[in-house]
C-alpha cells in the first residue's frame, strides 16, 4: 500500500546555500521615502572642494538629506564635513529631490537627444545625391552563428 499523505502536510527543512562573502558597497543605499529620488552628489574630488558641481545640483532642485532622516548613517558620516547636519561619505553628499523633477529632467534630455539626432539626419540627407542616395536605417538586428 502506498502512502497517500497530502504534499502540503509533508514538510522538509529549507535547503539554503551557504552565504558567501562579498565586498561591501562603497555607498550604502538610503531608505527610500515615497515621492523622492535619491542621489549621491560630488562635493569634493581628491581632497579638493568642487563648489561648481554642488551649486549646479542645488540649483537643479537637489537638497541635502538631513542625518535625522537617515539615522543609520550616523556612524558613517564624516566629522570633518562642511555639511555638518547632512550625510557626506567620501566626498559625496546624499541628496534628494521630488520624483517629478527627475522625470521632467529625463524628458528634457530625451527631447534634446532626439533633436540632435534629427539634426544629424537632416544634415546627412542634405548631402545625399539622387544618383547615389544615402541609405539611413535606424534599426539593428541580432543574428546568431550557425555553429560549424
d(CA 73, CA 86): 10
Q: How many domains would you assign to the chain?
A: 2
Choose between 127 and 114: higher pLDDT: 114
d(CA 43, CA 93): 6
HSE-up of residue 90 (Cα within 13 Å, Cβ side): 5
User: Looking at residue 25, what is its pLDDT?
Assistant: 73
Q: Is residue 71 pLDDT above 70, yes or no?
A: yes
Q: Is residue 110 pLDDT above 80, yes or no?
A: yes
Is position 133 within any domain? no
Same structural domain for residues 92 and 44?
A: yes
Q: How confident is the model at residue 1 (pLDDT cuts 50, 70, 90)?
A: low
Same structural domain for residues 70 and 46?
A: yes
pTM, 2 dp: 0.62
Same structural domain for residues 105 and 63?
A: no
Biggest alpha carbon–alpha carbon distance for the chain? 86
b/e map of 13-23 (b: 16 or more CB within 10 Å)? eeeeeeeeeee
Q: Is residue 143 pLDDT above 80, yes or no?
A: no
Percent of the chain predicted with pLDDT > 90: 28
Same structural domain for residues 86 and 54?
A: yes
Same structural domain for residues 81 and 106?
A: no
Is position 17 within any domain? no
User: Looking at residue 122, what is its pLDDT?
Assistant: 82
Euclidean distance between the first and the last CA atom of the chain, given in angstroms as a whole number: 54
**34-63 pLDDT, tens digit each:** 999 999 999 888 888 888 999 999 999 999
Is position 144 within any domain? no
Q: Residue 68: which domain range? A: 37-96
Mean pLDDT, the chain, rounded, equals 81
Cite the DSSP H helix spans in the chain: 51-60, 99-126
Amino acid at each position: 500500500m502506498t502512502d497517500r499523505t497530502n504534499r502540503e502536510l509533508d514538510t522538509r527543512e529549507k535547503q539554503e546555500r551557504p552565504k558567501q562573502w562579498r565586498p561591501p558597497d562603497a555607498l550604502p543605499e538610503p531608505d527610500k521615502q515615497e515621492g523622492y529620488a535619491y542621489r549621491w552628489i560630488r562635493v569634493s574630488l581628491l581632497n579638493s572642494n568642487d563648489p561648481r558641481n554642488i551649486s549646479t545640483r542645488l540649483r537643479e532642485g537637489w537638497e541635502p538629506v538631513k542625518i535625522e532622516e537617515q539615522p543609520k548613517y550616523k556612524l558613517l558620516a564624516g566629522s570633518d564635513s562642511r555639511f555638518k547636519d547632512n550625510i557626506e561619505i567620501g566626498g559625496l553628499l546624499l541628496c534628494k529631490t521630488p520624483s517629478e523633477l527627475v522625470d521632467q529632467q529625463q524628458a528634457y534630455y530625451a527631447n534634446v537627444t532626439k533633436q540632435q539626432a534629427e539634426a544629424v539626419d537632416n544634415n546627412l540627407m542634405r548631402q545625399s545625391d539622387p544618383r547615389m542616395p544615402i541609405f539611413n536605417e535606424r534599426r539593428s538586428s541580432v543574428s546568431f552563428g550557425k555553429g560549424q
